[in-house]
Structure formats: structure tokens, C-alpha cells
Homo-oligomer: A and B are copies of this chain.
Amino acid sequence: MTDLTRTFAALSDPTRLTMVERLMAQGELPAGALVAGFRISAPAVSRHLRVLREAGLIHQRAAGTHRYYAVRPEAMQSIARWTMDHRSFWEGSLERLDNLLALNPDTMDTA
């Protein structure tokens, strides 16, 4: 399993995808705050966080009894880089996407 397939696997679960989106939107959050947002048990959330952490998607910071989680930008960048690496394949019908996003993919940093 490559790093990228592990990243995709981590994001293939709806709960985990939502977690990552919430962490990106709201910034660093403790595990408990994430538990509150889902109907699954705390241990289930903890396991999801572990999967995300082991896939390199999030990072953990301990403070007292709390564990704060945040998305690692590098993980998102590796996905962006992969899509951009194959841009020439799908850019043919990109106009619609460009119009929707009003962005220029050429400005993306691929370092």
C-alpha cells in the first residue's frame, strides 16, 4: 500500500471524511468535540482518529487530558499534487470547473 492509497483509504469512510472537513474548517479540535458531532461511540471516534493519524492525515497534540487533532496540510497537498500530476488528462473539460471555482490551477505549488 503506497502512501497515497493509504490516504485515500483514510478518506474513504464518510465519518472520517467529515472529520477531516470539520478539522479543516474549524481548526484544531479535541477528540471530545468530534465525538459530539457523530452518533457513534467515543471509542469508534477514537479509532477513526487513529486511522487518520496513522495515514498521516492528522496530527495529535496532547494538553492535559485533552488530545487536540488537526489536519496536516501535507496530506492534502499530496492529493492535490497527484490530481495536478494528471491534470493533462482531465483538464480538457476543466472549463466548467474553472468557472465554478474561479481559480487558476497553474498557480499551484508542486514542491
In the complex, which range does the number of interface residues on chain A fall in?
35 or more
User: With A90-B80, A92-B109 given, is the CB distance from A5 to B1 under 8 Å?
Assistant: no
A71 an interface residue at 8 Å Cβ cutoff? yes
User: How far does the alpha carbon of A85 sit from the alpha carbon of B83 in the complex, in Å?
Assistant: 14
- Chain B residues contacting A79 (CB-CB under 8 Å) are 79, 83
Beta-carbon contact of A97 and B111 below 8 Å:
no
User: How far does the alpha carbon of A111 sit from the alpha carbon of B77 in the complex, in Å?
Assistant: 19
**Per-residue 0/1 for A10-36: is the Cβ within 8 Å of any B Cβ (1 yes, 0 no)?**
011110010001001000000000000
Beta-carbon contact of B89 and A76 below 8 Å:
yes
Residue among A62, A93, A109 facing the most chain B CB atoms (10 A cut-off) = A109
- Residue of B1, B53, B77, B100 touching A90 (CB-CB under 8 A): B77
- Residue of B53, B60, B77, B109 touching A59 (CB-CB under 8 A): B109
Beta-carbon contact of A53 and B101 below 8 Å:
no
Beta-carbon contact of B53 and A73 below 8 Å:
no
Beta-carbon contact of A12 and B17 below 8 Å:
no
